[in-house]
Structure 1
Amino acid sequence: MPILIRGETGTGKEQLARHAHMASGRTGAFVPVNCAALPESLIESELFGYAAGAFTGARRGGAIGLVKEADGGTLFLDEIGDMPVALQAVLLRLLDDWTVRPVGGVRSKVDVFLISATNARLDKAIAEARFRSDLLYRLNTLEVNLPPLRDRNDFDAIVRHLLNAIDPNCEITRTDIAHLAARPWPGNVRELRNVLARFTLAAADGSINEASAESIVQHPGAESGSLHDIHRARILVVYAETAGNVSETARRLGVSRNTIYRALGQKKPD
């Protein structure tokens, strides 16, 4: 059944969507789509694909489209609240019968697990005629609300989990965790992950102290340290986001796997 995930920015909506995909046992791909970034003039061709020669500038051989790419797997519609109205109408037609018709092509059925996510107030968007109520009723068969980090009661476990993924050799005390928990964290778990990545660079002898924690948290936007340190911090953040997948980290950052291994202080496996 379709799932709608609500939550503030950085609460882990995509992580939950990926977990739902894995738990579903589906063998197809997990296909994320940023609805706010889809150009209105290319909505149908991006979602449903197009046949070879369907229009001027079409790729030789055509394109299967994002929905067909998710056939047998999961289609994750992120930022659904910012979806252009024109795309909402197109999506409704898809949800009616799960039939895809590429531009200039023939119709075919797809089997897709649909997950949507938003940090927007959809009731307000509906009142302002920016979102269709009939689409919301189709998307939120099962609705999940992710609490902001400031309202969670497992802050300690979250910190230790993230820190272990970034640098297993770095330690943090309960006092310093309590110091961090007192912060408002408007960027939620994503912001906490970035701060912890900077902590690992400032940690003395693999241990985070309150002075370094205070300095980094008070200046979360400052790019302190050498260019090498900043680059390594970025690698560690993405490495944590991909659950320790070196290949995916290298792909997201556009670098070689050797670069990732060097940043992690590891040797490339034979």
Structure 2
Amino acid sequence: MSQLSFISKIPINKGWSCDKKYCVTADDGVKYLLRVTPEEKSANRADMFRMQRQVADLGVSMCKPVEFGKCDKGVYTVQTWVDGKDAEEIIPHLNDFEQYSYGLEAGRILKVIHSIPAPENQPDWEQRFNAKIDRNIKMYNDCLVKFDGAEDIMAYIESNRFLLSNRPQSYQHGDYHIGNMMIEKNKIVIIDFDRYDFGDPWEEFNRIVWCAQASPMFASGIINGYFDNEVPLEFWKLLALYISSNMLSSIPWAIPFGESEVNTMINQAKDVLSWYNNMQNPIPTWYIK
């Protein structure tokens, strides 16, 4: 399997990925993260590894790709081990200044990630995202669980679809939020690049909801760090559109995972509607300039 030989292998049972994950120790005592992807899910893993290399070459603080190959269970990737703690366990307990500083750092890192352009042949963003919105609306309409205020979200979507035209596209981490960050030696380290995509860089902020629920200071820092404190109004309007689209699909997505996940998403919808004053104000109430 790997060029490295491992003397120990401890399974990690965390996250939503289909990968089997292990903390492995090589014979020189160095720890790594080993991810094994089953054959049927492995199609994009070589591309994922290649893109992670590109990100790492930009000096981003992240779990760095070390090795990729085939094995009898599918494909495997070896990445550097992050010897830190989960950001979502640490950041909410820090003082405001520290929460905000980590946010600034995460925002600046995201800006660097987005400096990688999308491939030339990338399909048009407006068409692609409108199709996604249509799917999300249908999923919500077909789903038995409803939440109060969904009609306000749908009305906001319909009157703001025009914002999707002529948006640039770049590489996206695909799941950029506090749950995919760790703190190691007082630095933010980004993990879990397995949902990477190419699209409007501003769409990447749709997961900021999780950051804002954990720490409004941290979430504000991400946005201010990314925009160097000059946040355009058009960004807020588009972000509200992206979050709205996500909210509609989040309930049907949660149903197979059981009642507690559904409740998490219904509570999140409540939070979103209160932050945006039922979609009347594109700048959320948690944002601190």
TM-score in terms of structure 1 length? 0.31
More strand by share: 2
Give 1 or 2 for the bigger CA radius of gyration: 1
TM-score in terms of structure 2 length? 0.30
